[in-house]
Amino acid sequence: MEYLFEYAMFLAKTLTIVIAVFAIVTMMVAAGQRRRHMPRGSINVTHLNRELESLRDSLQRVVMDKFAFKKYLKREKKRDKEEAKQLKISAEKNHVENQEEVATESRRRRVYVLDFDGDMEASGVESLRQEITAVLTMAEPCDEVMLRLESPGGMVHAYGLASSQLLRFKQKNIPLTVCVDKVAASGGYMMACVADRLVAAPFAILGSIGVLVQMPNIHRLLKKNDVDFELITAGEYKRTVTPFTEVTEKGREKLRQDVQEMHELFKQWVKQYRPVVDIDQIATGETWVGLQAQERQMVDQLSTSDDIIVQACEEADVYEVSYEIRIPLGEKLGGALQKAMDKTLMVWWQRLRTTRYF
């Protein structure tokens, strides 16, 4: 009997493990199926007028006395009612049956605010293209798009795609304003120059209209250690300079030619979309701060994006549009760990630099 009891317990444990494994696999498959039918991300829209009003109300609630604040709230309510009344009168006056057409004709101008924070690979273009697509479903030529751009540049093909995405607004005759608060260099300026209006902070960094190719070469190290590296290609210039093979003068010259051609294309791009600049003067690979860039006609106006948004809120409805791509849990955890490590290293680096001055 004791043997049968132990055998029954063994079967029960085995069955429990099998059921648990089956349940986990089933949940993983179900989650995968759900992700297939789920959208890649979600669009987020913030009405910046209301956000600005909320900030103002919060400040006035503290600064003003109770009686004055009540009077202020009454004035605001009265103004809102007056605007609604004027809209109704306009609809009746024009005798338009379709109320949507009335709203379109009499609505305030809209400004859509987008953000692009560029890295070497311009990875933000994945969200940018979705944001642009969303805005184009609503925006009209009377509206405006404002892009807050921050980028030190990166890969040519990646920033070429990002710049081409911005041209979609030009194709629809929708004005585009680009604001640079910190930096728009190299590929960042490639994006910025397509704007109808380019605004930069006085000490933002702009320019770097040039092309750079750099890579280490360990051919002599491999040769010293008797390590062979085989490279088989079809086509004379399939590979010109690589990290592992000996650099020939012919390969170096071909690479130099490719870099020069890409630089000429970059210059043509800037000249096409910003014809007021002296392209030979600014396409030297140098960078300038906003004050210097304005002297070279690389920007139209010196200001911050905050000032431009506040001004826009006075005469238009301003909406901040962002597209958030869903990231798998594993990638989120990995990204959080990497950010924590980067932050820790940066803190220690700052401490080491600080101790040098004591």
Kindly name the residue from 66, 93, 224, 238 that is annotated as catalytic: 238
Q: How far apart are CA 267 and CA 193, in angstroms?
A: 11
Phi-psi region of 150 (alpha: psi -120 to 50; beta: other; left: phi over 0): beta
- Write the CB contacts of 22 (distance below 8 Å, at least 6 apart in sequence): none
Structure tokens at 181: 């608060």
User: DSSP state, 284?
Assistant: T
What's the distance, Cα to Cα, between the start and end of the chain in Å? Answer: 81
Please say if 238 is a catalytic residue: yes
- Residue 238 and residue 218 in contact, taking contact as beta carbons nearer than 8 Å: no
Report the amino acid identity of residue 111.
V
Kindly name the residue from 127, 151, 186, 208 that is annotated as catalytic: 186
- Residue 132 and residue 114 in contact, taking contact as beta carbons nearer than 8 Å: yes
Alpha helices in the chain (DSSP H): 2-37, 48-63, 66-94, 99-106, 125-136, 156-171, 187-192, 219-224, 249-273, 279-282, 290-295, 305-315, 329-355
Structure tokens at 153: 């540049």
Q: How far apart are CA 192 and CA 163, in angstroms?
A: 8
Angle, alpha carbons 223-225-228 (nearest 5°):
55
In whole angstroms, how far apart are CA 286 and each of 207, 210, 282, 283? 6, 8, 7, 7
Please say if 106 is a catalytic residue: no
Q: How far apart are CA 83 and CA 65, in angstroms?
A: 27
- Write the CB contacts of 282 (distance below 8 Å, at least 6 apart in sequence): 207, 209, 270, 296, 298
* Catalytic residue annotation: 186, 238
